[in-house]
Amino acid sequence: MRYSVVFPGQGAQEVGMGKDFRDSFVSAREVFERADAALNFPLSRIIFEGPDEELKKTEFAQPAILTMSMAVFRSLEIDEGISFQPAHVAGHSLGEYTALVASGTLSLEDGVRLVHRRGKLMQEAVPLGKGSMAAIIGLERGKVLAMCEAASSLGVCQAANFNAPGQIVISGDTEAVDKAVSLCREAGAKRALPLKVSAPFHCSLMRPVANRLRESFPDCSWNSPRWPLIANVSARTENDVSSIQDALFQQTYMPVLWADSIEYMMSQGVGRFLEIGPGTVLSGLIKRIDPQAQCFSVNASDSISGAIDFLKGGQ
């Protein structure tokens, strides 16, 4: 059965993540050292020692998650000698950049510098308190979109993440998002609750970020990916550099079509998903999208043997 490799996004970070890989695998140690050198500050110290409030800052969380995920990936690929042959690679929001580094489209150095800039721009785009996000649980897509539209008279309010059936995140101006949360509760949502985030991601308030981020693209060296990328904005395969760059530009202010992406991969014969990086959020979402999907998360060094067995099981 075919498999795809998926990488997590912001929110999966935790202090100490990847330290066991750094201590156990030469390739992982090199990834952390290269990231520190590329950024010209000790990102690995923030990852391993915190404090948590520092690691949660968007400008650090984004390169930290990419770095930890790539440390795991390289440990599998180089130290363990796994010859990856996924049908696709994909990542949730920030994770899309990790997927591009893993597939060779971007170097590790260009990847961490780009997402560090992305995080800083996102944090600076909207003053604290002006924007917010909320999770809507147990309400179908059309109703959530209708509630966002009804609340938009108070400001920007848009769907940001279509994570799984009945699990949608909305984003925008705080007053409008609060109104939409209230409307969703009245419409029968099981839960509708604000999220603890530093900025309203994946909505039109991030359009200036997209414009400035695109200015950094020429500073990077781009290559065609080794494996097809499933882009967040289209939930379809993107293979050439120009379309990938356009997808990254749009992804900044457009919704993440995660459920659609998983459904598309499964329609192409994929039934197994290897999640590489901190946490197990993506595996949980994938099982909600299709309970028949087989998932395995690699986020600690003691899960390496399980990952190897998981991959062998699909061959």
What DSSP character marks residue 76?
A: I
Left, alpha or beta for 56 (phi > 0: left; psi -120 to 50: alpha)?
Answer: alpha
Query: Contact at 8 Å (CB) between 278 and 65?
Result: yes
As a whole number, mean pLDDT of residues 86-102 equals 98
For 2-125+206-312, give the CATH class. Answer: alpha beta
Query: Contact at 8 Å (CB) between 303 and 277?
Result: no
What DSSP character marks residue 79?
A: I
pLDDT at 250 over 80: yes
Left, alpha or beta for 235 (phi > 0: left; psi -120 to 50: alpha)?
Answer: left
Reported as type and span, the H/E element at residue 49 is helix 43-49
For residue 1, name the pLDDT band (cuts at 50, 70, 90).
Answer: confident
Question: Residue 128: its pLDDT value, please?
Answer: 78
Going across the sheet that includes 157-164, the strands are 157-164, 167-173, 131-137, 191-194
DSSP string, 223-259: ---SS-EE-TTTSSEE-SHHHHHHHHHHHTTS-B-HH
Nearest of 109, 74, 114, 67 to residue 278 by alpha carbon: 67
> Mind listing the pLDDT tens digit for each residue in 267-282?
999 999 999 999 999 9
Q: State how far the Cα of 135 lies from the Cα of 181, in Å rounded to an integer.
A: 8
CATH topology agreement for domains 2-125+206-312 and 131-197: no
pTM of the model: 0.96
Q: State how far the Cα of 62 lies from the Cα of 244, in Å rounded to an integer.
A: 19
Asked if 242 is an active-site residue, the reply is no
For residue 72, name the pLDDT band (cuts at 50, 70, 90).
Answer: very high
- Rounded to the nearest integer, the mean pLDDT of the chain is 96
Q: Where are the domains of the chain?
A: 2-125+206-312, 131-197
For residue 315, name the pLDDT band (cuts at 50, 70, 90).
Answer: very low
pLDDT at 314 over 70: no
Asked if 93 is an active-site residue, the reply is yes
Q: Which of 93, 103, 132, 234 is catalytic?
A: 93
Q: Which of 4, 75, 202, 297 is catalytic?
A: 202
- In the CATH scheme, what architecture does the domain 131-197 have? 2-Layer Sandwich (3.30)
> Mind listing the pLDDT tens digit for each residue in 193-228?
999 888 899 999 999 999 999 999 999 999 999 999
